[in-house]
Amino acid sequence: MRQILLTGVACYLGILTASAQGKPEWKDVFTRINQEVLTNSKAYSSLRDATSTIGHRLTGSENGKKAEQYAYDLLRSYGYQNVRFQPFEVESWSRGTIQVSVGPDAKDLQPVKAVSLAHAPVKSNVGGELVEMGNGLEADYKASPGKVKGKIALVYLGILPGSGEGLKNLHRSEKTALATKYGAKGIIIINTAANGVLLTGTASVTGKLIPIPAVCIGKEDGLALREKLKSGKLEARIQLTNFSGMIKARNVIATIPGKTLPNEKIVVGGHLDSWDLATGAIDNGIGSFSVLDMARTFKALNLQPERTVEFVLFMGEEEGLLGSKSYVKEALRDKSIDKIRFMLNYDMTNDPKGYSATTDASKSLFQAIGSLAQAIDTSFRNSFRSGAGLHSDHQPFMLQGVPTGGAGGGSLPNNAGPCYHADCDDFRLVDEKGMQNTVRYNAMLVYGLADAPVIEAKRLTDQETKDLLLKSNLKEPLQIAGEWRWKD
């Protein structure tokens, strides 16, 4: 009986702690948000229209400009009078021609289907011995010193089966940087998706052109080459042309001023840009158009929380987080970074069942918000996950100590995973209900966070930021990218 009483007291205190984070009126606000989104959401229909009328949304292209204007006009049509463009200079890259061939010697080469990775050189024509470098991690190069120098590296995009326990994978750009560091004259990356799907994406950790050609080939072709290398040498040749040049791109920003704390700001972002092999419906149409519909929902219901909410559609994410880096650079320059209390990021977000954040400091508030969402719809499980990661638009904010987070516990619709950055990422993969769930649960999160009496998560000091990154095993990838600013 004593144990039961203690458990009951603990649960009661937990409820008191959670409820102390919120306000009684949130229940009514969240109910209105839920009904508005279920009845009038434009996320799915707007994305369908954009993918059919614009196509891809490659930063720096004419399609990219059309996408920026589309988002701007959509926000204006929702009633935002203070929509603005935030221009930035971007080294635009687009693909040209490519030919990859492999054979037993330089005179007997056979073509292999391939696609250039972004920021590969404007022109390359390199040939040489193809050497198998496993997962392309630093340990693979250190295990065979000098093996890849002056040759072409063959690297798996993921972690190969049987590689051992506890290996942490690296981003394709980091694997390319390592191949360059150890003297490779080119790199061929084997995709992890089956059935010959080809993946694109940046091979640059800086968003600038890289010195060696980097290409992706299909999983089946790549594994066949690995088998052939077990019994003899292979030669490879990579020939490609691309375009690169400095142009302007634009983030799109719409703001709702805070009612009583206008100088405290919640940034709600998602990247609008996509790669050019398809229309980017999943990456990141489902995220960015959900952000647009969150903004619509706020206007439709005339919501004005205590803090300022800024909805941001970033461009240039795919080419190295260029739009979000530009946003943070400007915020550091004009000191407005000190006003940002939280950054919520929506990248390939679909049908979430909970929330996530960089640290546990947000847990009680997020779960207090989530408990109200769960009371409205029990399919929302109110899960919470904390952890720091890289390679999306939250990263520049996180590196400055700003608390970051967003949705959690979701899953991609219609087996969309293999179409990541591939030519099959189109609108047929999108699930309308999944987008609705992203919008309604996360519009609740945005409102609750912006309206909360107290936000426990504070901006980390420089030392606290360093400690978080070390704890999260992010030092190595940040060093490879040249973004580790600490000396020791």
What's the rounded Cα separation, in Å, for the pair 144 and 129? 15
Kindly state the tokens that stand for 254. 């719409």
Element spanning 5, H or E: helix 2-20
pLDDT of the residue at 56: 98
pLDDT of the residue at 212: 98
Kindly state the tokens that stand for 141. 């190069």
CATH number of 105-232: 3.50.30.30
Counting Cβ atoms within 10 Å, is residue 61 exposed (0-12), middle (13-18) or buried (19+)? buried
Question: Considering Cα of 54, then 57, then 62, then 65, what sign does the dihedral take?
Answer: positive
Kindly state the tokens that stand for 32. 């209105």
List every span in the chain annotated with CATH 3.40.630.10.
Answer: 22-91+246-457
DSSP E strands: which ranges in 286-381? 307-314, 340-345, 354-357
- The model's pLDDT over 73-128, given as tens digits with 9 standing for 90+, comes to 999 999 999 999 999 987 788 999 999 999 999 999 999 999 999 999 999 999 99
List every span in the chain annotated with CATH 3.50.30.30.
Answer: 105-232
pLDDT of the residue at 207: 86
pLDDT of the residue at 15: 39
Question: Considering Cα of 371, then 372, then 373, then 374, what sign does the dihedral take?
Answer: positive
Q: Give which of 373, 370, 208, 350 is closest to 282, Cα–Cα.
A: 350
Element spanning 295, H or E: helix 286-300
Amino acid at 274: S
C-alpha distances out from residue 199 to 173, 217, 346, 421, Å: 13, 8, 21, 5
What's the rounded Cα separation, in Å, for the pair 459 and 342? 8
C-beta neighbour count of 53 within 10 angstroms: 9
Radius of gyration of the chain (CA): 24
pLDDT of the residue at 404: 98
DSSP E strands: which ranges in 149-272? 152-156, 186-190, 214-217, 234-256, 261-271
What's the rounded Cα separation, in Å, for the pair 185 and 234? 15
pLDDT of the residue at 90: 79
Q: What is the DSSP letter of 202?
A: B
How do the residues of the chain divide into helix, strand and coil, expressed in percent and rounded to 5?
A: 40, 25, 40
pLDDT of the residue at 13: 38
Q: What's the CATH fold of domain 22-91+246-457?
A: Aminopeptidase (3.40.630)
Q: What is the pLDDT along the chain (488 residues), one digit of tens a residue?
A: 444 433 443 443 343 344 447 899 999 999 999 999 999 999 999 999 999 999 999 999 999 999 999 999 999 999 999 999 999 987 788 999 999 999 999 999 999 999 999 999 999 999 999 999 999 999 999 999 999 999 999 999 999 999 988 899 999 999 999 999 999 999 999 999 999 999 999 999 988 899 999 999 999 999 999 999 999 999 999 999 999 998 889 999 999 999 999 999 999 999 999 999 999 999 999 999 999 999 999 999 999 999 999 999 999 999 999 999 999 999 999 999 999 999 999 999 999 999 999 999 999 999 999 999 999 999 999 999 999 999 999 999 999 999 999 999 999 999 999 999 999 999 999 999 999 999 999 999 999 999 999 999 999 999 999 999 999 999 999 999 999 999 97
Amino acid at 154: L
Residue labelled with tokens 């295990």: 143
Q: What is the DSSP letter of 283?
A: I
Q: Kind of pairing, strands 152-156 and 123-132? A: parallel
Query: Half-sphere exposure of 378 toward its Cβ, with a 13 Å CA cutoff?
Result: 0
Amino acid at 2: R
pLDDT of the residue at 268: 99
Contact of 191 with 216, CB cutoff 8 Å:
yes
